[in-house]
């Protein structure tokens, strides 16, 4: 199933928020992405219907295995690309913003080549995808 970039952004944000806060609600996602609560609500409904998230009785959002796989894929790309751009001399803020733009559209082949190059020329860091 093909998933849209916006859905990938939501799933990645849920993963990041879960790692930072432990629990995630729609309002947390709205604040993180600077979207309206209504927009986030519509997106969460679609993600739930497509089997990417679960929402418990208290309104806490969790990723299903399928959602976690997509979120982890995008987030790992984001972290590596940010680190790579910083290694090239780009400021951390610009590197993170550029990584967001590139992480969705980069082919697996190109990403794997970047990853191999990064591993050969950059010292290993915790959190770098293996």
Per residue of the chain (130 residues), give pLDDT as tens: 457 888 999 999 999 999 999 999 999 999 999 999 999 999 999 999 999 999 999 999 999 999 999 999 999 999 989 998 998 999 999 999 999 888 888 888 998 888 888 778 765 555 444 4
Phi, psi of 52 (to 5 degrees): -95, -25
Strand pairing partners for 55? 61
Total-model pTM: 0.80
Q: Residue 2 half-sphere exposure, CB side, CA atoms within 13 Å? A: 4
Reported CATH class of domain 75-121: mainly alpha
CATH 3.40.1260.10 holds for 5-69: no
Q: Where are the domains of the chain?
A: 5-69, 75-121
CA distances from 53 to 12, 50, 67, 71, 128 (A): 12, 8, 6, 11, 25
pLDDT of 125 reads 56
Please report the pLDDT score of residue 117 as a whole number. 83
* Spacing of C-alpha 9 from chain mean position: 6
What DSSP assignment string belongs to 44-97? HHHHHHTTSEEE-TT--EEE-HHHHHHHHHHHHHHHHHHHHHHHTT--HHHHHH
């Amino acid at each position: 199933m093909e998933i849209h970039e916006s859905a990938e952004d939501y799933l990645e944000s849920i993963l990041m928020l879960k790692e930072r806060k432990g629990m995630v609600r729609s309002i947390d996602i709205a604040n993180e992405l600077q979207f309206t609560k209504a927009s986030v609500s519509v997106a969460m409904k679609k993600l739930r219907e497509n089997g990417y998230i679960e929402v418990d009785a208290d309104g806490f959002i969790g990723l299903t295995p399928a959602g976690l796989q997509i979120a982890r894929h995008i987030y790992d790309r984001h972290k590596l690309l940010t680190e790579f751009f910083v290694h090239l001399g780009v400021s951390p803020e610009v590197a993170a913003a550029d990584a967001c733009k590139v992480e969705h559209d980069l082919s697996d082949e190109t990403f794997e080549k970047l990853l191999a190059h990064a591993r050969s020329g950059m010292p290993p860091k915790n959190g770098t995808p293996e």
